[in-house]
Amino acid sequence: MTGRDERDEGMERARRGQDVWQALAHNELVRQARTGARISADSITDIVGLPGRRNVIGALFSSAKRAGLIVEIGYEQATRPSRHASRQLVWRGCGPEQTELW
C-alpha cells in the first residue's frame, strides 16, 4: 500500500465516522425537539459524544433552526470542561409536528 493509499483510506475512515456521528446527533436532536425540551450542544454531546470536528455541532443546530425544528431561547454556561465555562445557545424544540418533516 502506498502512502497515498493509506492517506485516502484514513480520510475515508474519518468521513464514515463523521457520518455516523452526524446521524446519531441528528436523531438525538429530533428526539429532544419532539418533547419541546430545552436543547443545547451539551445536551446533544452528553448523549452522542463529541464529533471529530467541532464545527459540525454548529452546523447541526443551524440546519435544525432553518428547518423550524428549534427556536433560540437564550444562553447558558456550557458544562463541558473543555468549553472553559463559555456561553452556549439554548434552544427549545418545536414539538412533534415540526420534527416529522426533518
pLDDT in tens, 53-74: 778 899 999 999 999 999 999 9
- What's the number of domains the chain is made of? 1
Task: Give me the chain's average pLDDT, please.
Answer: 85
Residue 22 has pLDDT above 80, yes or no: yes
Closest CA to 73 of 29, 22, 36, 21: 36
CATH number of the CATH domain containing 82: 1.10.10
17: confidence class by pLDDT, cuts 50, 70, 90: low
CA distances from 73 to 7, 39, 52, 77 (A): 43, 10, 27, 14
Burial 89-102 (b: 16+ CB within 10 A, else e): bbbbbbeeebbeeb
Residue 45 has pLDDT above 80, yes or no: yes
Structural domain range at position 22: 3-99
What is the pTM (predicted TM-score) of this model? 0.76
